[in-house]
Amino acid sequence: MSSSRSSPGEPATGSAPDVTSPDPIERIAYLLGPSDGTGVFAPAGDRWRLPARDTPRAIVWGRSPLPSGTRRASALRAVFARERALGAARRGRGARVHRIPPQTLGGSGGRNALRSMLLGGAVVELPLAGPRPRVLDAAVHVAGVRLSEGPLHLSSSGSILARVRAGDGAAVLRVGVAGAPGDPARGAAALAHLSPHNIPVPRLLATGEAAGASWSLETALPGRRPGGGSAQVSRDAAALCAALPPGNGPPAAPRRDLEALAALLPERADALRALAHSLRGTLRALPSVLRHGDLWVGNLLVDGGRLSGVVDWDAWDPGAVPGADLLHLHATGRRIAERCELGEIWESHPWRDEAYRSLLDGASATIPGDVLAIAWWAGELRGTVSRHPSRAADERWLAINVDGVLRTLRP
């Protein structure tokens, strides 16, 4: 199934959400649509035109956030069109609006609020004809929980996070399309794997499927996401990484990441596979460790100035290069502070920074810098292209973040 696409100036038309689409909005539309399969997804288009009132079936309507780097004039035009349409949907149709912020950056809340205003997307549930439960509601029912008051969190991977009440305590319900990007089963497997270890991660309570959706239920940890990094939080993160369980054999994550990238970026597949092959001998002599895979301030929780938890484990791998998680944390902090891209921060060799090297201990301190660098770059690149498939067609982005790095790695 595929959704019809309206031209920028035309009202949105719709069809059944395509859960295999690379666009995460279509998967979110499926989760917010009725569980009997009668839902329609209508893309908002550049001008945010509302669907016709006489559409016979339930509609979820909207679009993704604008990409970073969108020109200010274009973003402002989109803001006015978006807010006018969302206001009309609320007032005239009693619609339920869910905001989708762009990727949160470190720094002040004001900076992130401005980014959300300029670049944010939205998904809107137009009223159903009669009481019909959503796919999300079916998952809530099977999980045996109650939705808490407050907004849903719509992730860039196409899943939904909701605060719920489980028994007498607070918990987090994650719901995604079964088998698709954003399926919470992957992160749930990481939590199950980590449960015997004394590591501040959510406790997995239950998993299951309902109406084509996969869901997981986990405890809500204390704390909040920090506005930025600190020396203490970095030391706490280093201690957490040192406590992660060792892998079974040499690191396999770099090869898995590069092979996945070769499939996602077929025009660069030969270069990526050649790089994976060149690492085989070096990796064979190294130890491995479980990784988080996306360790940055947005996935940390802090309480009283100390690290209280690490969440969002969907990029985990049981056989990673020791130290790669910490390099991801350090380099991403620099990228946020310097407002630059992955390929640009690569050129400054963050794996040689004293602030990073001082955090390494044990096996991670013995890993060659070039291996750490490739492991970090390949993991972050795979995560970015998987979550944002449009990057695979963005030649400017590819030139900076893929081609520029590959040139430096050629023998």
Query: Would you say residue 407 has pLDDT above 90?
Result: yes
pLDDT tens digits, one per residue of 271-321:
999 999 999 999 999 999 999 999 999 999 999 999 999 999 999 999 999
What percentage of residues in the chain have a pLDDT greater than 70? Answer: 92
CA nearest neighbour of 60 among 41, 43, 78: 41
Q: Would you call 37 helix, strand, or coil by DSSP? A: coil
| pLDDT confidence band for 55 (50 / 70 / 90) | low
The one-letter code for the residue type at 214 is S
What is d(CA 59, CA 137) in angstroms, rounded to the nearest whole number?
A: 16
- pLDDT, mean over the chain: 89
SS3 label, residue 362? helix
List % helix, strand, coil for the chain (3-state, nearest 5). Answer: 45, 20, 40
Q: What is the pLDDT of residue 149?
A: 81
Full DSSP string of 170-200: EEEEEEEETTSTT-THHHHHHHHHHTTS---
Residue 57, pLDDT score: 66
pLDDT above 80: residue 95:
yes
Least confident of 14-18, 144-148, 176-180: 14-18
User: Is the predicted pLDDT of residue 5 greater than 60, yes or no?
Assistant: no
Stronger pLDDT, 14 or 3, i.e. the higher one: 14
- Residue 224 pLDDT more than 50? yes
* Whole-number pLDDT of residue 10: 46
- Average pLDDT score over residue span 109-125: 84
Q: What is the pLDDT of residue 128?
A: 62
Whole-angstrom distance, CA of residue 237 vs CA of residue 242: 9
Residue 328: predicted pLDDT: 97
Which residues have C-beta within 8 Å of that of residue 407, sequence separation ≥ 6?
none
DSSP string, 227-294: SS--HHHHHHHHHHHHHSPB-SSS--HHHHHHHHHHHH-GGGHHHHHHHHHHHHHHHHTS--EEE-S-
Helices (H) and strands (E) in the chain, counts: 14, 14
> What average pLDDT does range 215-231 have in this prediction?
90
pLDDT of residue 104: 61
Contact 16, 41 (CB under 8 A): yes
Identify the weakest region by mean pLDDT among 265-274, 287-296, 387-396: 387-396
182 vs 273, more confident: 273
If pLDDT is split at 50, 70 and 90, which confidence band does 106 have? Answer: low
Q: What is the pTM of this model?
A: 0.89
Phi/psi at 212 (5° precision): 80, 0
Assess whether pLDDT exceeds 50 at residue 3: no
Q: What is the pLDDT of residue 12?
A: 52
Q: 183 vs 28, 187, 216, 325, CA distance in Å? A: 11, 8, 9, 22
Beta bridge partners of 15: 41
